[in-house]
């Protein structure tokens, strides 16, 4: 089972090194690239003012955030939700930088880059030279983003989940995984039943009459048919 968390944040500004903080986290769970309906969403009191530039982007005011929990109060539950799953993030360096700055304050392990998939980098490889922000990708793939009048972490995570599925091949990408899972399930059941693990060869299903009819058909060719190469060993 492949568990992924599509994640987005909103912040007080653009520079966590200068003390800007996370004020909203939104996460959507995917299993084998399919949304499960499970999500995580919290607003957070950053203990510092929201910059004018950030306010224009997400609309989250100091007054709205004043009575929300501190990051330290939600850090355990957030870390438990994402666990060791792969994180799918657009422009991942920004969000991961902020989250690691928050985790450093609470003493939680940092998010390592090898568990992060950056959809911005993925989009740039797939559509070089084209606009690859979230709105542009929605337009390219016909995803409805009319609700996105301002940035919001959970809404953006939900939209990004749809974009991500399109980036990796569309809504039927789960079919191959489903087949793989089905094969693994069959193998597991055979193992429990004591069935041999090696590949078994099915016996030929042609009758003698069918073989004779096919031989007469091949005899009508002037040159040697290549089909004989496939039936010679039978």
* Residues forming the active site: 151
Compute the 3-state secondary structure of the chain and give helix, strand, coil in percent, each to the nearest 5.
45, 15, 35
Strands 116-118 and 3-11: unpaired
For 159, residues 6+ apart whose C-beta sits below 8 A from its C-beta are 134, 138, 143, 145, 148
Please give the Cα distance from 95 to 45 (Å, whole number). Answer: 17
Beta bridge partners of 7: 27
Measure the CA–CA gap between 54 and 133, rounded to whole angstroms.
17
CA distance 23 to 20: 9
In whole angstroms, give the CA distance from residue 143 to residue 132: 14
């Amino acid at each position: 089972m492949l568990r992924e968390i599509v994640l987005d944040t909103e912040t007080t500004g653009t520079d966590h090194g200068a003390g800007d903080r996370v004020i909203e986290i939104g996460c959507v769970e995917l299993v084998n690239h399919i949304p499960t309906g499970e999500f995580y969403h919290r607003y957070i009191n950053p203990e510092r003012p929201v910059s004018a530039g950030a306010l224009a982007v997400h609309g989250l005011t100091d007054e709205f955030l004043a009575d929300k929990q501190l990051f330290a109060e939600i850090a355990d539950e957030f870390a438990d939700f994402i666990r060791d799953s792969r994180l799918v993030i657009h422009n991942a360096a920004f969000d991961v930088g902020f989250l690691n700055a928050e985790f450093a304050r609470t003493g939680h392990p940092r998010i390592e880059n090898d568990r992060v998939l950056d959809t911005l980098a993925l989009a740039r490889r797939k559509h070089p030279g084209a606009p690859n922000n979230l709105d542009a990708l929605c337009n390219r793939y016909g995803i409805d983003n009319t609700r996105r009048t301002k940035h919001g972490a959970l809404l953006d995570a939900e939209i990004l989940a749809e974009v991500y599925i399109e980036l990796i091949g569309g809504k039927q990408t789960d079919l191959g995984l489903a087949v793989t899972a089905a094969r693994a399930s069959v193998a597991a059941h055979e193992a429990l039943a004591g069935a041999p693990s090696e590949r078994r060869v099915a016996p030929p299903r042609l009758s003698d009459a069918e073989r004779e009819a096919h031989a007469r058909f091949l005899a009508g060719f002037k040159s040697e048919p290549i089909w004989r190469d496939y039936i010679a060993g039978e």
